[in-house]
């Protein structure tokens, strides 16, 4: 009963918590640990976060991710991704599920990214979005797309952009409810092989802009530490990554001043070097 009461309060007072997928939430333990920065991160989660960065990620990999938002299973987010590099470009598939049996959102994506030389890459993803609200209300599904790019404008300085759902597809006929378009723009600088920093601005057309900043430092070959901040809503994050053989384990936690902690965890397996 306590969890249900907290869940209802969050839905009424903090709408961003409900629309996890339709807000195009960043996926992956590395992004979570760095304040939600995502479009300049080149890893298996680029399938979901920025298909432009996927063009630079030429590894066959698979990953799973779990987020327990504010410690409530009703707000849990589960994801799985897979990437396949080819001579014609890099392909990927992603599946994200948010919610429980009373309310749930499903996002299924097919992505393609291609690099054009060593300094520029672009990509696109076709999305199927499904919403289900208990048996009596049924479910609805729509198709949309997202596009992204990434460029190394000078040595070690990267610029990335991403647009989710630019056509604002309708989720339901009632009240002309539409899934919002999300625009992201970010800069990242790689000081060395060990230190990476990134800054992003995100604009949901229905909300004020949000800012994200994060950094990652590789202490030793097998260990990474990460930290970051974000606004609208304000939150702080901290995380670490452990690399062993072809596996990588990422653990992170995000802190909201009112709602508390959100733990996140991810495992990646890289088939090829």
Q: How far apart are CA 253 and CA 255, in angstroms?
A: 7
Question: What are the structure tokens assigned to 214, written together?
Answer: 């994060």
Query: Is a pLDDT exceeding 60 seen at residue 10?
Result: no
- The pLDDT tens digits for 107-142 are 999 999 999 999 999 999 999 998 887 766 667 789
Domain at 20-270: CATH code: 2.40.160.60
Place of tokens 């992505």: 111
- The pLDDT tens digits for 189-220 are 999 989 999 999 999 998 899 999 999 999 99
Domains of the chain: which residue ranges? 20-270
pLDDT score of 11: 45
pLDDT, average across residues 82-100: 94
Backbone angles phi, psi at 191, to 5 degrees: -65, -35
For the chain, what percent of residues have pLDDT higher than 70?
88
- The pLDDT tens digits for 66-81 are 999 888 888 889 999 9
Beta carbons within 10 angstroms of residue 168's beta carbon: 12
Q: What is the mean pLDDT of the chain?
A: 88
Name the residue among 259, 265, 210, 261 with its Cα closest to residue 11: 259
Q: How far apart are CA 103 and CA 75, in angstroms?
A: 9
pLDDT, average across residues 1-16: 44
Taking the model in full, what pTM does it have?
0.87
pLDDT score of 133: 79
- The pLDDT tens digits for 17-44 are 444 455 678 999 999 999 999 999 999 9
């Amino acid at each position: 009963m306590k969890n249900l009461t907290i869940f209802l309060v969050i839905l009424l007072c903090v709408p961003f918590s409900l629309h996890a997928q339709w807000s195009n939430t960043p996926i992956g333990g590395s992004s979570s640990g760095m304040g939600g920065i995502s479009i300049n991160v080149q890893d298996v989660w680029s399938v979901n976060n920025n298909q432009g960065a996927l063009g630079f990620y030429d590894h066959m990999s698979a990953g799973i991710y779990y987020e327990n938002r504010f410690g409530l299973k009703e707000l849990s987010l589960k994801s799985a991704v897979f990437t396949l590099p080819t001579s014609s470009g890099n392909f990927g598939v992603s599946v994200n599920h948010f919610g429980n049996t009373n309310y749930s959102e499903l996002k299924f994506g097919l992505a393609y990214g291609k690099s054009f030389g060593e300094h520029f890459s672009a990509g696109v993803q076709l999305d199927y979005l499904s919403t289900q609200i208990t048996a009596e209300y049924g479910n609805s599904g729509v198709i949309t797309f997202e596009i992204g790019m990434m460029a190394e404008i000078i040595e070690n300085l990267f610029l990335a952009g991403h647009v989710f759902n630019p056509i604002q597809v309708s989720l339901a006929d009632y009240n002309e409810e539409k899934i919002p378009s999300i625009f992201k723009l970010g800069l990242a600088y790689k000081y060395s092989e060990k230190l990476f920093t990134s800054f992003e601005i995100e604009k949901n057309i229905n909300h004020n802009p949000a800012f994200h900043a994060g950094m990652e430092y590789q202490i030793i070959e097998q260990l990474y530490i990460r930290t970051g901040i974000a606004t609208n809503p304000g939150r702080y994050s901290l995380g670490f990554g452990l690399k062993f053989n072809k596996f990588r384990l990422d653990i992170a936690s995000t802190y909201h001043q009112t709602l508390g902690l959100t733990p996140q965890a991810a495992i990646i397996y890289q088939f090829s070097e």
